[in-house]
Structure 1
Amino acid sequence: SSPKKEKNNKKYLIMVKKKYTSKRISLKDKYKIQRRVVESHRKSRKQSKKDKKAGIVRHDKTKKDPGIPNSWPFKQELLQEVAKAREKAEQKKLEMKQKRKEAKTQTMEELMAQANQSRAEFDAKQGSGISSSNAMDDSVRDVQQAHGQQSRRAYLRELKKVIDASDVLLQILDARDPVGTRISTMVENTILSHYDKRMVLVLNKIDLIPKDAVQGWLTVLRRSHPTVAMKAGTNQSRSNETKSSVGRAKGDGALQSASGVGVEGLLQLLKNYARSSGEDKKSKSSITVGIIGYPNVGKSSILNTLKRSRAVGVSPRPGFTTSMQEVVLDRNVRLLDSPGVVFDDENVGGSHTMLRNCVDADSVDDPIPAVQALVSRCSAESLMMTYSLPAFPKGDVMIFLSMVARQYGKVLKGGIPDKVLAARSVLRDWNSGKIPYYTPPPTTMDDVAESRAAGSGKEEGTAKIVSSFGAEFDVLAELKKMDDEVMKDLGDDKDEMDFVKVDPVMEHEASKADREAVNFLTGKDDDDMEMDEAEDSGVVKQSRTNGKGKKSINDVVADEDDYEFEDL
């Protein structure tokens, strides 16, 4: 209770000031304390200088050690132990002093002999471990190669499942480098001939390149397959979007739209194929669309855009999708997402594979070869403007990395530029999109042939596209109409001077990885086929029973509503 004060026979309450538990104080008090501390230190230094001149020695106020009390029962024994320890420390100190004295008196010849002897002993000790170290390195390398081979086989197994179950295949290409992110001709022809599938090329990320480049690549790619230009949605978390919003993003807002750009054209193409497929095969009630392509080209993002919700997970990290995922779009269309597969050998396209964002830049041991490939494919002027660097010789990767390292302060001891760290930073900027780049489309027929459109003229390519989707459906007219709408939705065009032009990588001869993929997809690899059949039987059984009482995929299809294409 508060104290009471009596005055004139009246009682008054005295309010006690509240005690604050917080250590926060006002700035006025804070700066006052700082000034007092500084002033106290200044006075102490001034007094110590005066005492030093006057010869006054001021002892510390710390208490002196009283020593061992006389009442301690073993005081004498303890004093003897302390004396012995003191003598031992003195003896050791004298020995160290004597050794230092003897070391100073050695001649140069004695020092050289001692150094040679130490080196010989070290070599003899390490010599026995050289062979075992080499063997260990070889075994580690073999294990890493076997692990990479096993991972590729696992992804190929998932890819084969998607191809087997699909009626139409959507091959997703990165619009910045369509040739580099396209499956090799050998694998593509094997898929089309052996499995008798229809293929549509989807040019994704068209918002990252100029409009002229989009039109040029559409013309080139349509010589072999129907091609649709598209930009996947950037935010698929809004699952309550209305169906009429699909593909309706207009103008500059399309670049930040969750619905994406070009979705309407792709859905219309699938709708017409479902219609023609239903007429040809009366018993077929739905079609399955498989989505394939290199890692990080936007396969899962396109699936989420078509579904208008976050149906599958997406990540900028390569290899995020590791297995086949099935999503029901409506009663007539199912979508299958597949993991990205790299069809390159390490000795053939390892550096170019890193530039396709198929490998995490932080996990690369030596990123300099990838930057070497980048510098050789880009003009020096564009890299100078991007990183604000002075002029350097074209193709000289070491000078370029030295300049980048000094520009961003990535240096070692002695001011030596850290080229490895700079190369990793450049590779990270390239894969994350901080460096805006694109590969210009080929302009001559020779370039078109080199970029995989060889062997089919305009008439032959047109006939191939029309025959793929039925003569009753005018594919070319529909694609042209889609292009006009997509270009309108993209808004203002970008200046080509803001981009780094990259020379396209022409397709090399069939690699070992391509041949292995063809053998696996055609069933010539018996060991993998047996393993594949065993896993397929287990997957089918699990999908039918589903083990946890969940609905099967057929039940999900039955519950889905029809996709309202007319609302588009």
Structure 2
Amino acid sequence: MVKKKSKSKRQTLKDKYKIQHRVVETHRKRKKQAKRDAKAGIVRHDKKKKDPGIPNSWPFKEDLLNQISRSREREEEKKRLAKEQRRDGIQKLREHKAAGGTARTLEELMARAGRSREEFAAKGGGVEGDASGNRTENKPSLGQSSRRAYMRILREVVDSSDVILQVLDARDPAGTRVGRAVEEAILSRHDKRMVLVLNKIDLVPKDAVAGWLAHLRRSHPTLAMKAGTNQSRSAEVGRTKGESALKSSSGVGVEGLLSLLKNYARSSGEGSGKSKSCITVGIIGYPNVGKSSILNTLKRSRAVGVSPRPGFTTSLQEVVLDKSVRLVDSPGVVFDDSSDTKRGGDTSLGGHSLLRNCVDADAVDDPIPAVRGLLERCTVESLVMTYEIPAFPSGDVMTFLALVARRSGRKLKGGIPDKVGAARTVLRDWNAGKIKFYTSPPDAGMDDDEGGASAGGVDATIVSSFGEAFDVSKMKEMDRDALEGLPEDGMDFVEMKAPSAEEGANDGRSSREAARYLKGEVDDDDEMDEDSVGEGAGTAPAKKGAKSSNDAVADAEDYDFDDL
């Protein structure tokens, strides 16, 4: 069939001029009408329809609004970080020019720094200096490297440090403490000292902090502290006391830690007759326990970057505190075994790692093991009061998730409760601090006689570890100042049960391998990579024949909420 010819766009001059005349006439009438409306005070709105937004009848409106809010917060965080990087870059460029450098722009300076890093890495180097004088190690990012890289950084921190500060989360000191094998490997060298720093004490009740201090001081000197966010270099930083200090941005317990480090710097080397002019203090611990925040608090400035996101610190960083103390910050390392299971084999250690905020909750494929571990260590009454849900059988994770899903309006097609989404919500709330919790110390029920005996043991431990120059009475006074203002009543918190074998809570296979590596017994790094996984691994690979959480959700019975 012959294709029909398209209509020509040609037109007569009569039609052309008619259209032009109509356009001009229309514009003239609109201008005339606008002048009349302006004199009469009439405002004519645009006839375009406005976006009505999200309908209130849509069942997932709240979730979508939360998602939009989180996206907006992430964009603002990116802009803030980019702004800080530009400001730091401009400062480095100024310092470079003041030192006689020839770079004219920031891009030229960064290009030169990149070439220097490549040349240094090609020569086999691992540590380089930046323009601010701090030391940064050229290491791959966490999550992409193997455990071998993390152990190499940790061993370098231990080798170069005279004092090791192990930072613990006051909400779960047992879960955020490295294994006993790793501690023994560090202390196997006669010139090493270890101090435990109980951070975030403002988030737990007073009795829990006091109990954990008494328990931890049986093995190592322990100090209570709250890292501050105040970047002022005033001499009053860290000297505020009471409830006002806990609610402010100032640090609490800073003076005690500073005096301890200064005291050790003065007394180091007295026994051998060789006094050190400067000591190096290494800061280690699990991700997101506040290592970088403590360093900034001691420095009284933003010396290193901090973020609530786990694994933000990706390299070794050295900061000069003063002429006698140097601080070394390190990335967090998880010592849990992802291949082992306990408590019947249905809860992996990776799930317990998620409860310590070692991994981003949004990046977890299967959050149900973490919630199962939460139910194992929390009472039903505390979770019922927190989420305002009916009582459920103890340990029944599927019923708990179904109730939470119903409470938050999370439903799938057909009105089925979204248990996976509810588990992710619980994990996100837990790691974000929306749920106040604390872990009771193992010896919370100790009587007065035992408490008095332990107090003497605490004093003996500190004196024998740090010499007679350390004033134990002053330490007790600082404890009273640090604990002043903490909440007395623990009813507003979710109480978690401490593990039965707290001292060996993290003494798994990975911890023993790390201890051997720190002692130098493992020379071949490949041996550590055969069965180990990188930091931040969420869960273990499923065993053959084991039922996954998705299968468990699919096989779970539908609950009659009216009977609960």
Q: Which category describes the TM-score, using the shorter chain as reference length?
A: 0.5 to 0.7
1:326 matched to 2:318: yes
Query: For 2:40 and 2:254, how far apart are their aligned partners in 1?
Result: 60
Q: Is the 8 A contact 1:155 1:322 kept in 2?
A: no
Query: For 1:26 and 1:186, how far apart are their aligned partners in 2?
Result: 86
Q: Supply the AA of the counterpart residue of 1:251.
A: G
- With structure 2 as the length reference, what TM-score do the two structures score? 0.64
Once the two structures are superposed, what CA deviation does each residue of 1:448-478 show, in whole Å capped at 9, x if it has no partner?
Answer: xxxxx9xx9665554332111112433x222
Query: For 1:509 and 1:207, how far apart are their aligned partners in 2?
Result: 25
Q: Which of 470, 487, 490 is the aligned partner of 1:493?
A: 487
Q: Which residue of structure 1 aligns with residue 212 of structure 2?
A: 217
- CA, structure 1 residues 409+334, in 2 after alignment: closer, same or farther (shift >3 Å)? same
Q: Which residue of structure 2 aligns with residue 378 of structure 1?
A: 378
Query: For 1:291 and 1:515, how far apart are their aligned partners in 2?
Result: 20
Q: Which of 190, 195, 203 is the aligned partner of 1:200?
A: 195
Report SS of the residue matched to 1:290: strand
- 1:441 Cα offset (Å): 1.5
Query: For 2:257 and 2:292, how far apart are their aligned partners in 1?
Result: 15
Query: For 2:506 and 2:239, how far apart are their aligned partners in 1?
Result: 42
Q: Is the 8 A contact 1:200 1:227 kept in 2?
A: yes
Q: Which residue of structure 2 aligns with residue 177 of structure 1?
A: 172
- 1:31 Cα offset (Å): 8.1
Query: For 2:442 and 2:294, how far apart are their aligned partners in 1?
Result: 27
Query: For 2:34 and 2:475, how far apart are their aligned partners in 1?
Result: 74
Q: Which of 286, 291, 297 is the aligned partner of 1:299?
A: 291
- 1:166 Cα offset (Å): 0.7
- 1:284 Cα offset (Å): 1.3
Query: For 2:149 and 2:378, how far apart are their aligned partners in 1?
Result: 35
- CA, structure 1 residues 467+207, in 2 after alignment: closer, same or farther (shift >3 Å)? same
- 1:403 Cα offset (Å): 0.9
- Return the structure number with greater relative CO, CA threshold 8 A, min gap 6: 2
- CA, structure 1 residues 395+278, in 2 after alignment: closer, same or farther (shift >3 Å)? same
Report SS of the residue matched to 1:182: coil
1:93-112 to 2 correspondence within 5 Å?
Answer: none
Larger Rg: 1
- 1:195 Cα offset (Å): 6.0
- 1:444 Cα offset (Å): 6.3
- CA, structure 1 residues 26+148, in 2 after alignment: closer, same or farther (shift >3 Å)? farther
- 1:151 Cα offset (Å): 2.7
Q: Is the 8 A contact 1:402 1:417 kept in 2?
A: yes
Q: Is the 8 A contact 2:178 2:285 kept in 1?
A: yes
Q: Which residue of structure 1 aligns with residue 512 of structure 2?
A: 515
Q: Is the 8 A contact 2:287 2:331 kept in 1?
A: yes
Unmatched segments (≥5 aa) in structure 2: 1-30, 49-141, 341-348, 529-564
Q: Is the 8 A contact 1:321 1:339 kept in 2?
A: yes
Q: Is the 8 A contact 1:296 1:358 kept in 2?
A: yes
1:104-143 to 2 correspondence within 5 Å?
Answer: none
- CA, structure 1 residues 173+18, in 2 after alignment: closer, same or farther (shift >3 Å)? farther
Q: Which residue of structure 1 aligns with residue 252 of structure 2?
A: 261
Report SS of the residue matched to 2:315: coil
Paired residues, number: 388
Query: For 2:40 and 2:204, how far apart are their aligned partners in 1?
Result: 56
Query: For 2:467 and 2:201, how far apart are their aligned partners in 1?
Result: 28
1:229 matched to 2:224: yes
Q: Which residue of structure 2 aligns with residue 362 of structure 1?
A: 362
Q: Supply the AA of the counterpart residue of 1:171.
A: Q
Once the two structures are superposed, what CA deviation does each residue of 1:357-380 show, in whole Å capped at 9, x if it has no partner?
Answer: 111111111100110010121111
- CA, structure 1 residues 192+445, in 2 after alignment: closer, same or farther (shift >3 Å)? farther
Query: For 1:419 and 1:387, how far apart are their aligned partners in 2?
Result: 15
Q: Which residue of structure 2 aligns with residue 546 of structure 1?
A: none
Q: Supply the AA of the counterpart residue of 2:306.
A: V
Once the two structures are superposed, what CA deviation does each residue of 1:63-105 show, in whole Å capped at 9, x if it has no partner?
Answer: xxxxxxxxxxxxxxxxxxxxxxxxxxxxxxxxxxxxxxxxxxx
Q: Supply the AA of the counterpart residue of 2:229.
A: T
- CA, structure 1 residues 234+283, in 2 after alignment: closer, same or farther (shift >3 Å)? closer
1:450-461 to 2 correspondence within 5 Å?
Answer: 461=458
Query: For 1:254 and 1:159, how far apart are their aligned partners in 2?
Result: 33
1:302-321 to 2 correspondence within 5 Å?
Answer: 302-321=294-313
Q: Is the 8 A contact 1:405 1:411 kept in 2?
A: yes
Query: For 1:471 and 1:416, how far apart are their aligned partners in 2?
Result: 66
Report SS of the residue matched to 1:526: coil
Q: Which residue of structure 2 aligns with residue 484 of structure 1?
A: 480
1:339 matched to 2:336: no
Query: For 2:274 and 2:373, how far apart are their aligned partners in 1?
Result: 53
- CA, structure 1 residues 446+219, in 2 after alignment: closer, same or farther (shift >3 Å)? closer
Report SS of the residue matched to 2:174: coil
Report SS of the residue matched to 1:173: strand
Query: For 1:287 and 1:354, how far apart are their aligned partners in 2?
Result: 35
1:19-168 to 2 correspondence within 5 Å?
Answer: 29-30=43-44, 150-168=145-163
Q: Which residue of structure 1 aligns with residue 267 of structure 2?
A: 276
Report SS of the residue matched to 1:510: coil
Query: For 2:39 and 2:420, how far apart are their aligned partners in 1?
Result: 49
Q: Which residue of structure 2 aligns with residue 412 of structure 1?
A: 412
Query: For 2:507 and 2:415, how far apart are their aligned partners in 1?
Result: 45
- CA, structure 1 residues 276+18, in 2 after alignment: closer, same or farther (shift >3 Å)? farther
- 1:251 Cα offset (Å): 3.1
Query: For 1:515 and 1:328, how far apart are their aligned partners in 2?
Result: 33
Query: For 1:461 and 1:374, how far apart are their aligned partners in 2?
Result: 32
Query: For 2:350 and 2:187, how far apart are their aligned partners in 1?
Result: 27
Q: Is the 8 A contact 2:265 2:276 kept in 1?
A: no
Query: For 1:466 and 1:371, how far apart are their aligned partners in 2?
Result: 42
- CA, structure 1 residues 339+32, in 2 after alignment: closer, same or farther (shift >3 Å)? closer
Q: Which has the higher helix share?
A: 1
Q: Which residue of structure 2 aligns with residue 504 of structure 1?
A: 498
Q: Supply the AA of the counterpart residue of 1:314.
A: V
> What's the % identity of the aligned pairs?
64
Report SS of the residue matched to 2:284: strand
Q: Supply the AA of the counterpart residue of 1:443.
A: D
Report SS of the residue matched to 1:496: coil
Query: For 2:410 and 2:396, how far apart are their aligned partners in 1?
Result: 19
Q: Supply the AA of the counterpart residue of 2:470.
A: F
- CA, structure 1 residues 472+394, in 2 after alignment: closer, same or farther (shift >3 Å)? same
Q: Which residue of structure 2 aligns with residue 142 of structure 1?
A: none
Report SS of the residue matched to 2:339: helix
Report SS of the residue matched to 1:347: coil
Give RMSD over aligned pairs. 3.2
Query: For 1:182 and 1:167, how far apart are their aligned partners in 2?
Result: 20
Query: For 2:39 and 2:378, how far apart are their aligned partners in 1?
Result: 59
- 1:30 Cα offset (Å): 5.0
- CA, structure 1 residues 364+276, in 2 after alignment: closer, same or farther (shift >3 Å)? same
Q: Which of 464, 467, 489 is the aligned partner of 2:464?
A: 467
Unmatched segments (≥5 aa) in structure 1: 1-16, 35-146, 448-452, 532-568
- CA, structure 1 residues 264+285, in 2 after alignment: closer, same or farther (shift >3 Å)? same
- With structure 1 as the length reference, what TM-score do the two structures score? 0.63
